[in-house]
Amino acid sequence: MRLDKFLADVGLGSRKEVKVFIKKGQVQVNGETIKSDKFQVKEKLDQITFEGEKITYQKDFYYLLNKPQGVISATQDNYDETVLDLFSDEEYREDLFPVGRLDKDTEGLLLITNDGVLSHQLLSPKKHVEKEYYAHVAGIMTNEDITAFEAGVIISGEEQTLPAKLTIVSVDEAMHTSEIKLILHEGKFHQVKRMVAAVGKEVTYLKRIRMGNLYLPEDIELGSYRQLTEEELGKIKGE
């Protein structure tokens, strides 16, 4: 691998920027200063340093984010804070993007990566990757709603949803509210809210708690993120 590609892959800068670092003598390979951006390196074997700091090769990055309300699932926006705005300067990369989206007022699990292949696999309708949500509902959810969701419902715009699994966590008769969990196999626009509305109720709070085999850990606070563990990465890749 060319030295400039190695440095760009690990996020040190663009190919243009890292060429400047190399020419200035800021990069060493196995203790030797290299000033040619075309110099070939073995990314897993050679010891490469930038200004004396060792660089470990990593091409693909995977972050688990607990998205808060008020933040949009986009890479950039002129008006609203985006999920990438939550990243520190040290961990931000221009090639990162959210896998799918959560509504602005929805909280919970969002995968941030630069792995386009994995993103496609997780979002492809043919894969039917499960997405599980927890919600507060204004209204009493019933066994009839469970049956309706299992069959798929007609939501606004005359769209037919795929079968979904509804679990009623609790019901408060006095407050006329419910807590539910809902497992979807697709990702239509505002789908949870529209499905609940189709049976005459309203979602008042929504959080995604699972995507495929990846669960939202309880120890990640709203607005916080961390890299996936090897075990979590294996689960989300189906290994």
User: Which residues are within 8 A (CB) of 93 and not within 5 positions of it... i.e. 6 or more apart?
Assistant: 11, 61, 114
Report which secondary-structure segment, H or E, holds 63. Answer: strand 62-67
Contact between residue 23 and residue 37 where contact means Cβ atoms under 8 Å apart: yes
Backbone φ and ψ for 137, nearest 5 degrees, come out as -130, 135
What are 202's strand-pairing partners?
A: 138
What is the identity of the amino acid at 57? Y
- Is 103 one of the annotated active-site residues of the chain? yes
Q: With CA atoms as reference, report the closest residue to 180 among 147, 214, 206.
A: 206
> Active-site residue among 4, 9, 37, 103?
103
Question: Please, how many CA atoms are within 13 Å of residue 150, restricted to the half-sphere of its CB?
Answer: 7
Would you mind telling me the total number of residues written for the chain in this entry?
A: 239
Buried b (16+ CB within 10 A) or exposed e, 169-181: eebeeeeebbbbe
First to last CA, the chain: 27
Alpha-carbon Rg for the chain, nearest whole angstrom, is 22
Helix (DSSP H) and strand (DSSP E) numbers for the chain: 6, 15
115 to 13, 22, 47, 141: CA distances (angstroms):
18, 27, 25, 39
Catalytic residues: 103
